[in-house]
Amino acid sequence: MTDMGAIAHRPGLFRKRCSGVQVNPGDLACGDNTGVIVVPFEHVEEVLAVAKNIESVEQQILQKVRAGMKLKDARRETGYYTLQTPEEK
């Protein structure tokens, strides 16, 4: 990333340190106007699975709220507050 926008590199050609975070070939980097997240390659599948589950639950919450349920009740009913809590292995 530069102040002029994104730069695409071919995999394996760079290793960079950004704001104290090591970014390696194969890592997933995503950003928006609130910041950037870097996911190490070995955790990408796990993080994407968690993110997809959160998105699914958020859609369920939206449907419940549209049907008249209070947001806090919809979140509680769907277990929203535990979605990012790591499971014991």
Answer whether residue 80 shows pLDDT above 90: yes
Q: Quick: pLDDT tens for 8-30.
A: 555 555 677 777 888 888 899 88
User: What domain range is 78 assigned to?
Assistant: 44-82
CB 39 within 8 A of CB 28: yes
Q: Angle formed by the axes of helices 44-66 and 71-78, to 10°?
A: 140
> What are the E-state strand segments in 2-55?
16-18, 21-23, 28-32, 35-39
Look at the chain and report how many structural domains it folds into: 2
Same domain, 33 and 51: no
Answer whether residue 63 shows pLDDT above 90: yes
**Rounded average pLDDT over 73-89:** 84
Write down which residue in 9, 24, 39 finishes a domain: 39
Tokens 């008249």 -> residue = 68
CB 83 within 8 A of CB 54: yes
